[in-house]
Chain A
């Protein structure tokens, strides 16, 4: 198990890229049947007229961002709380055959007012497709532990 990632491991202003998932028509339809059964997400024929072909539910794109975040860092970050999502914008449609990755900006950091051991970090995530187009953005906060200090400091 690699070392946990602490508050200090996310320098302010850093921009990093990670992830890479292929989105298939079957996955778009399967997700939408469970969570967002609107014709432009579930029915290729109906989608052709409405949106020029099948498009993924925005919630599906959000879920793919969550998976890429978990795999890249959230699984091993010392997260105390997912303090909420400030804003999500579904900017451009995600279509079958798209390949998505994440560009993450560390926007802000602030110490926790009532606990010296914790701090909050605000990230801006951009979900980018194979053409470099930003399909979605999300701004959200994580409450993280500070790196434990060795005794004697």
Chain B
């Protein structure tokens, strides 16, 4: 998707991620030793690391974007250059994610503006994850550079 194709207020469903006990523990073994300690104490259900919940959302975003790009390629359209994300703001985890939970991710565009570089525009997104009980488990805002169509240059 190019800058010109993005509409403010547009919401995109990104897909779901299931949090098994094994997946929560695997993330814990690599990055959050507190989870390993909780498992050793016999804590059940285990809660996922907040960062795991966010990274699993990134995976959904990348997959959704890949299938969008595949569709564009099939139609013979030019593919926009991918921009690297500079970071995020305001991450909150209102409810924990427990083993067995399924999180659905979505992203809404809240604003867009052109930059001083004719090749790139700036898009602000609000990112959200809800569990199978419709409880909000993740929210954050991100700003990404997105390629503009070549006819603007």
A142 interface contact, C-beta 8 A = no
Across-interface contacts of A89 in B (CB, < 8 A): 86-87
With A35-B56, A37-B62, A59-B55 known to touch, is A84 a contact of B91 (CB < 8 Å)? Answer: yes
**Stretch with Cβ within 8 A of B (4 or more), from A70-78, A96-104, A113-121, A125-133:** A70-78
A87 interface contact, C-beta 8 A = yes
C-alpha gap A11/B66 in the complex (Å) = 47
C-alpha gap A51/B83 in the complex (Å) = 11
Contact A36 B33 (CB under 8 A): no
Task: Please encode chain A, from 53 to 73, with 1 for each CB lying within 8 Å of some chain B CB and 0 for all others.
Answer: 000011100111011001100
Partner of B30 from the list A50, A63, A84 (CB cut-off 8 Å) is A63
Contact B32 A84 (CB under 8 A): no
B59 interface contact, C-beta 8 A = yes
Across-interface contacts of B37 in A (CB, < 8 A): 75
B98 interface contact, C-beta 8 A = no
**Stretch with Cβ within 8 A of A (4 or more), from B8-16, B46-54, B117-125, B128-136:** B46-54
Q: What's the minimum C-beta distance from A107 to chain B, rounded to whole angstroms?
A: 16
Across-interface contacts of B85 in A (CB, < 8 A): 58, 90
A88 interface contact, C-beta 8 A = yes
B6 interface contact, C-beta 8 A = no
Q: List 19 A-B contacts (CB under 8 A).
A: A35-B58, A36-B59, A37-B59, A37-B62, A57-B58, A58-B85, A59-B54, A63-B27, A64-B31, A67-B33, A70-B31, A74-B34, A82-B93, A84-B90, A84-B91, A86-B89, A88-B88, A88-B91, A89-B87
Interface residues, chain B, CB within 8 Å of chain A? 27, 30-34, 37, 49-51, 54-56, 58-59, 62-63, 66, 82, 84-93, 140
Nearest first, the 5 A-B pairs at minimum CB distance are A85-B91, A35-B55, A89-B87, A63-B31, A84-B92
